[in-house]
Structure 1
Amino acid sequence: MDLAIMQPYIFPYIGYYQLIYAVDKFILYDDVTFIKGGWINRNNILINGTASLFTVPLTGASSNREIGAIEINEKMYPIWKKKFLKSLSQNYSSAPFYDDVFPLIEEVLNVSSCSISTLAGRSLLAVCEHLKINTEFVNSSSVYGNHHLSGKDRVIDICKKEDAEHYINPIGGKELYDKSDFEGEGLHLSFIQTGEISYTQSKGDFVPYLSIIDVLMFNSKTETLKLMQNYQLV
């Protein structure tokens, strides 16, 4: 079985979904510490031809707290959601697949209170269902009971408990993990490297590394899956 582990991100860029696509089981690492300034609660969409950051408002966001313990800000969230959906409507209403994708985003965001982990997980699962990607999702907090471990030791422990033979990590992990450490535990380690992603947006030059929202707005399901397959394992 092929397995990956990542912190839950809200509507991340296509490379994150490539990692989901590449594995049989995807572990949402919701019981590790929150990363301030990371991509857990934010990403970029296209506004007037440039990348524009959106950020889900949170309560008590701290690098000393676990992701699953951090809630969306109940007071600010409805205001943010209304503005965000309006921005999507204003900037993507002429995109070819707006009518399919906008309701999906509305449904994901249709919550009044929850953790950012839950909201991000909803965004991941909804896109996978939209594209008929059948990867199984598991929340790390609900299963493994291995808080006493960290780093590669915790990753290896999860792989063993899931009877995985192959662990796939984002390419940035080459600085963190050594293949020999995994081989010594009977595991094969690969890193996923995204190929060149390009597609027709609105006007102007292509703007890369945007949220999956942008990909879905401008590409059919078939075209999106073709882009998603543009990676290699190294």
Structure 2
Amino acid sequence: MQPYFMPYLGYFQLARSCDQFVFLDDVNFIRRGFINRNRILLDGKPFAFSLPVIRASQNRPINRHSFAGAMELFLEQLRHTYRRAPFYGPVFRLVESLCLEPDMNVARKAAASVAAVFAYLGLPLNYSFASSHPAEGLGGECRILDICRRFDATAYHNAPGGRHLYDVAAFRAAGVCLRFVKGSFPAYGQPGAETFVPGLSIIDVLMNNAPERVSRMLDDYVLEHA
């Protein structure tokens, strides 16, 4: 999966379902995607934040992009909207440390945000970067199958939205079971919101829930075979 900065709960459920999670850092950057963008609550309403990226281009890999370093506005938005959240202190410090880390490489910082959440929850995450397993000339499904081969994988997991991307027969021929992670997104208290807003950045989940409950959320998914 492409590395996203503080993605939504479903991304973490996908990572949780795997023995080895591979960040696709060497595929092209997606403008207006979720690599550097997501949603939080601001004044009780969904708000799309975007971390500025220097000369963002869909013609260059994610790992050849850098954040502009202008993170203070985003941090101030978090202070404003979550300062009364039950777990504001530790979660804000977590996000702040990620934002202020000097390494501004988009792929590494986004991947670090996922790893940091697992560490905060006390859960393991075995991960690597696709750029560590180069495959010249391979793309799409062929690249995925090559990565599976390198790890002797017997199964490949993806989000439900990826169903149309893959040929089940090709995976079967390679001895790889294709599965999709269907997550559950339970309601929880969101101070200031009139009704529960699902699918926000994991930041919202962490701000409003104890680590033990978030850990249970990560395990609340079903594996569906293709």
Equivalences for residues 65-214 of structure 1 within 5 A: 65-73=60-68, 77=69, 80-142=70-132, 144-203=133-192, 204-214=194-204
Question: What amino acid maps onto 1:17 in structure 2?
Answer: F
In the alignment, structure 1 segments of 5+ residues that lack a partner are: 1-5
Identify the residue that residue 208 of structure 2 maps to in structure 1: 218
Deviations 1:183-224 (A, max 9, x none): 111111101111243111113211111100000000001111
Q: Which of residues 9, 13, 37 in structure 2 aligns to 1:42?
A: 37
Q: Deviations over 1:161-193 (max 9, x none)?
A: 111111101111111113222111111110111
Q: Secondary structure at the match of 1:135?
A: coil
Cα distance in 2 between the residues matched to 1:22 and 1:166: 11
Q: Which amino acid aligns with 2:180?
A: F
Separation (CA, whole Å) in 1 of partners of 2:217 and 2:45 = 21
Q: Which runs of 4+ in 1 moved over 2 A?
A: 111-114
- Alpha-carbon distance in 1 for matches of 2:71, 2:63: 20
Residues 43-74 of structure 1, C-alpha deviations (whole Å, 9 max, x = no match): 1111111111111111121110000001112x
Matched letter for residue 149 of structure 2? K
What's the offset of the Cα at 1:112? Answer: 3.5
**CA–CA distance in 1 between the matches of 2:107 and 2:186?**
27
State the Cα deviation string for residues 19-40 of structure 1 (Å, max 9, x = none): 1111111101000001111000
Contact 2:3–2:107 (Cα < 8 Å) also in 1? yes
Residue identity opposite 2:90 in structure 1: D
Q: What letter is aligned with 2:75?
A: L
* CA-CA distance at 1:113 after TM superposition: 4.5
Q: Is the 8 Å Cα contact of residues 9 and 185 (structure 2) preserved in structure 1?
A: no
Residue identity matched to 2:199: Y
CA distance in 2, matches of 1:112, 1:27: 23
Give the letter for the 2:13 counterpart.
Q
Paired residues of 2:171 and 2:177 also in contact (CA < 8 A): yes
CA distance in 2, matches of 1:228, 1:199: 14
Counterpart residue type for residue 215 of structure 2? L
Instruction: Please give the secondary structure, in 1, of the residue aligned with 2:191.
Output: coil
- Code of the residue aligned with 1:123 in structure 2: it is S
Quote the sequence identity (%): 39
RMSD of aligned alpha carbons: 1.1
TM-score by length of 1: 0.92
State how far apart, in whole Å, the 2-side matches of 1:211 and 1:178 are.
Answer: 31
Match for 1:21 among 16, 20, 30? 16
**Contact 1:49 1:207 survives alignment (8 Å):** no
Which residue of structure 2 lines up, in the alignment, with residue 3 of structure 1?
none
Alignment partners' CA distance in 1, 2:203 and 2:136 = 34
1:9 aligned onto 2:18: no
Aligned residues: 223
Structure 2 portions without partners, runs of 5+: none
* Offset of residue 108 of structure 1: 0.8
